[in-house]
Amino acid sequence: MMPLADPEAAFGWRTIAAVARGGPMRLPETAWQRIAAARAVVDAIVARGIPAYGVSTGIGAFCDTVVPPAEQRALSRHIVLSHAVGTGPHLPEAETRAIMAAAVANLSHGRSGVRPAVVALLLACLERRCIPAVPRQGSVGYLSHMAHVALALIGEGEGLVDGALRPAREALGHHGLAPLVLDTKEGLSLINGTPCATGLAALALAQAERLFDWADGLAALSFEAVGSQDSAFAAAPMNLHASPGLKATAARLRGYLAGSDRVAAAKGRRLQDALSLRAVPHVHGAARDAFAYAATVVDRELASPTDNPLVGGTPEAPEVFSTAHAVGAGVALAMDTLGIAVAEVAAMAERRLDRLLNPLVSGLPPFLAGTGGLHSGLMIAQYTAASLVAENRRLAAPASLDGGITSGLQEDYLSHATPASLKTLVILDNAAQVLGIEWVVAAQASDLYPGPHARGAGTGALHARLRAHLPVFRDDRPLGRDLETAATILRREDIDPPP
């Protein structure tokens, strides 16, 4: 009997994200045993002539077309060559690494039937930073991205050497590696499953987790700068709601604003504030709840073999299971949900920064300018934020509903899981830019605040962080550079988000 999966050896999204950023990846001995056992089953399937999709038959609409035994190894290579149809710019290194790491996790379940040498080469490429060139576009669910990874593994396509594109065979040789010669089923197993979607989703989760922490802190800085009522975040009313994300966000906001003389002085100034201020726990909390759901789905996917077909049994009694695990509908829905959540957090940030700039509601100098008219201040920064929020609104349309038909009606449902992950990464990048703009605006508003000096402990730290990089804006330099500097700090993985 094939060794069972080891729950302690399962790879979660945090591990995949860490590998994507350059971290190591190792397989336990139990995983290598599973991989070898599955290969023995595939060898038995081939030797006995047992019908198996992609082994003794073609794939897609050719699933009933028999491939003679003498040509089954060639089928693996042909599958890779024919499926490497990606177009457009190449993925960044981190995104390709995430896909490769998720592929290792998928193969490590020991239900695909590749030789250990295939997994070993993937791990060696990750370790030595021999990264295939993978075009970004061309996936309706899976296949094309992993096909370009597989293409490099067999010495075709292109790879990176010191940041420059080289023929894949040359790139492998530069790192002391030799191209694979694929055996039966290996071509199909390398391109199949959900590693593209789950790898990219792991990166999206890592970025979203950081972004939501930044969003809470920057919302507090804006809240303080406009003189809002912190009773909206009080523990007693917040604890009446069952959402864990809402309660966590409210507690974080109270922590940021603790000790703020500015908030204390604003008590009683108005009965309640605008929703973009007092509903921060509700929107950010809902986003955190959506994040928790998406993280659970991605971890479940990584804990599951998603190849087709899957193998089981023993060489004496081999089993072949034709499944649809590779569809990845759960990941598509999860990433669509996360993308919407991120877009909503950014949309609320744009509303807050607009209130800080608008003299009709801010109580601050118009557009936070020095001399209005002569100076425009930060007026046009809100235009950029509005543009990014609008783009996110378009991107947040669910990819999982896109549908489509491929392979002569054989594949008449498409989940678009990989595109869902890709567009969520774009939404996250746009949202980081919007939050960077809020940071610049809120810090400027904080500097111009007419009341008490003392900020909260958390908001004061956030203000000081930005001022360590950017002085007060006085229409004395291109504003766009300031906005990009703030967003870059938010994106940098070596800088921790606010606690």
Residue 380, token pair as written in the block: 């046009």
Residue 74, token pair as written in the block: 């060639």
Alpha-carbon distance of 76 to 63, in angstroms, equals 14
Residue 100, token pair as written in the block: 């490769």
Largest CA distance in the chain: 85
Alpha-carbon distance of 172 to 150, in angstroms, equals 12
Alpha-carbon distance of 375 to 379, in angstroms, equals 10
Considering only CA atoms, which of 211, 217, 226 is closest in space to residue 258?
A: 217
Angle between helices 457-467 and 417-447 (to 10 degrees): 90
Residue 229, token pair as written in the block: 């009522």
Write b or e for each residue in 158-179: b if 16 or more Cβ atoms lie within 10 A of its Cβ, otherwise e: bbbbeeeebebbebbbeeebee
Q: Is 53 a catalytic residue?
A: yes
DSSP 201-222: HHHHHHHHHHHHHHHHHHHHHH
Alpha-carbon distance of 486 to 470, in angstroms, equals 8
Cis peptide before 179 (omega within 30 of 0): no
Give the catalytic positions in this structure.
53
